[in-house]
């Protein structure tokens, strides 16, 4: 069984993948307050003690995606730091951004690009298998992407240097992250990306209307569930016509992937949806079972 968790951190992103192997992956970090920081980071810190390979994937260096990075690095000693190759600067440096730059420019960094491969990210050998993580974007020679890198180097904006990452479980499920990509940028590059069906799509830019994917792309992705982040409600696009889970009300969301099913749990015991099957599963720790995604592979 593999487990994917999306933390409720306010206006920000933080995820982990507890692979069905000796791998553990963290994607971005953030927290809403000290209590949230302590509980979330303690949970993340506890899991790798049982793992051999731990990696941190940074989609981009906006504060709401790297908040707490210095603390996390001090606690876990990040050895595998994944990001796009960039020279982003900020006029108002924070300790977390400085740590991002240190890791980005160190020998610990692995630079993500379209089709990149690495042992044991998506390559296997006689020692261990692939973790199922693949990078669909960026194409580092694309002019629009080069322009996004230039803006980051000038300290203007960082959203559109985000990579597109997928995770395919050993059970055949697929998750997709797009960081804070904006929809006008996605429109420009869409023909350079091989869009394939995904089960769980984390809506770009926390579900904001500025990140809303166009219908022609959504039809290719055909997501079974779209997870809408914790942007301000006035800025959110609720993806009408699709099954969604909204973290503003659901809180933390956990996906337990077993065979052809995904059991889903949330931290808000009053939250429910109508599109999942009820398999009468027990709650998971302090998280409420809301149903199971069942389908034929």
Q: Is the pLDDT of residue 25 over 50?
A: yes
Q: Is the peptide bond before 85 cis (omega within 30 degrees of 0)?
A: no
Tokens 């790798």, residue? 48
Q: pLDDT grade, residue 296 (50/70/90)?
A: low
Query: Over the stretch 233-284, which tens digit does the pLDDT of each residue have?
Result: 999 999 999 999 999 999 999 999 998 899 999 999 999 999 999 999 999 9
**What is the rounded distance in angstroms from the CA atom of residue 250 to the CA atom of residue 232?**
15
**What is the rounded distance in angstroms from the CA atom of residue 260 to the CA atom of residue 244?**
20
Contact 7, 39 (CB under 8 A): no
Q: Is the pLDDT of residue 194 over 80?
A: yes
Query: Over the stretch 41-82, which tens digit does the pLDDT of each residue have?
Result: 999 988 877 788 999 999 999 999 999 999 999 999 999 999
All residues at 6 or more sequence positions from 172 whose CB lies less than 8 Å from its CB, including other chains: 260, 297
Query: Over the stretch 126-181, which tens digit does the pLDDT of each residue have?
Result: 888 899 999 999 999 999 999 999 999 999 999 999 999 999 997 889 999 999 99
Query: Over the stretch 87-100, which tens digit does the pLDDT of each residue have?
Result: 999 998 999 999 99
Helix (H, G, I), strand (E, B) or coil at 25: strand
Single out the residue of 43, 19, 20, 168 nearest to residue 29, CA to CA.
43
Supply the pLDDT for residue 297: 47
Tell me how far CA of residue 103 lies from CA of 61, 161, 164, in angstroms: 12, 17, 20
Tell me how far CA of residue 204 lies from CA of 95, 267, 268, in angstroms: 26, 22, 23
SS3 content of the chain, % helix, strand, coil (to 5): 30, 25, 45
Q: Is the pLDDT of residue 118 over 50?
A: yes
**What is the rounded distance in angstroms from the CA atom of residue 32 to the CA atom of residue 49?**
25
- The H or E element that residue 64 is part of is helix 63-66
Contact 113, 140 (CB under 8 A): yes
Supply the pLDDT for residue 172: 84
Indicate the pairing of strand 288-294 with strand 2-6.
unpaired
Average pLDDT over all residues of the chain = 95
| Stretch 6-27: mean pLDDT | 95
Residue 119 DSSP one-character state: B
Query: Over the stretch 205-242, which tens digit does the pLDDT of each residue have?
Result: 999 999 999 999 999 999 999 999 999 999 999 999 99
- Give the predicted TM-score (pTM) of the model: 0.97
Single out the residue of 128, 182, 143 nearest to residue 159, CA to CA.
182
Supply the pLDDT for residue 170: 79
Single out the residue of 43, 70, 45 nearest to residue 58, CA to CA.
70
Supply the pLDDT for residue 187: 97
First to last CA, the chain: 16
Domains for the chain: give ranges and CATH numbers: 2-294 (3.60.15.10)
Supply the pLDDT for residue 51: 85
Supply the pLDDT for residue 126: 87
Question: Angle at which helices 69-76 and 34-46 pack, to 10 degrees?
Answer: 30
Contact 266, 287 (CB under 8 A): yes
| Interior/surface letters 154-181, b for 16+ CB within 10 angstroms, e for the rest | eeeebbbbbbbbbbbbbeebbbbbbbbb
Supply the pLDDT for residue 240: 96
Can you read off the two tokens belonging to residue 49? Answer: 């003690």
């Amino acid at each position: 069984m593999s487990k994917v968790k999306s933390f409720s951190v306010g206006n920000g992103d933080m995820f982990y993948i507890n692979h069905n192997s000796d791998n553990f992956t963290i994607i971005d970090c953030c927290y809403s307050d000290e209590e949230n920081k302590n509980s979330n980071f303690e949970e993340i810190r506890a899991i790798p003690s049982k793992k051999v390979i731990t990696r941190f994937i940074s989609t981009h260096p906006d504060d709401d995606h790297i908040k707490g990075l210095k603390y996390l690095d001090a606690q876990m000693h990040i050895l595998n730091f994944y990001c796009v190759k960039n020279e982003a600067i900020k006029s108002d440096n924070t300790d977390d951004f400085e740590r991002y730059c240190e890791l980005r420019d160190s020998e610990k960094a692995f630079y993500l690009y379209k089709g990149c491969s690495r042992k044991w990210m998506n390559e296997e050998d006689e020692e261990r298998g692939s973790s199922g993580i693949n990078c669909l974007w960026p194409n580092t020679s694309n002019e629009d992407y080069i322009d996004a890198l230039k803006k980051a180097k000038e300290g203007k904006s960082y959203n559109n240097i985000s990579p597109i990452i997928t995770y395919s479980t050993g059970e055949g499920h697929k998750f997709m992250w797009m960081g804070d990509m904006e929809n006008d940028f996605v429109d420009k590059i869409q023909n350079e990306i091989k869009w394939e069906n995904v089960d769980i799509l984390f809506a770009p830019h926390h579900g904001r209307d500025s990140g809303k994917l166009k219908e022609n792309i959504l039809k290719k992705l055909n997501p079974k569930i779209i997870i809408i982040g914790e942007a301000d409600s006035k800025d959110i696009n609720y993806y009408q016509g699709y099954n969604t889970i909204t973290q503003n009300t659901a809180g933390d969301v956990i996906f337990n992937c077993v065979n052809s099913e995904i059991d889903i749990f949330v931290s808000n015991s009053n939250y429910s949806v109508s599109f999942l099957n009820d398999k009468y599963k027990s709650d998971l720790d302090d998280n409420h079972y809301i149903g199971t995604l069942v389908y034929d592979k």
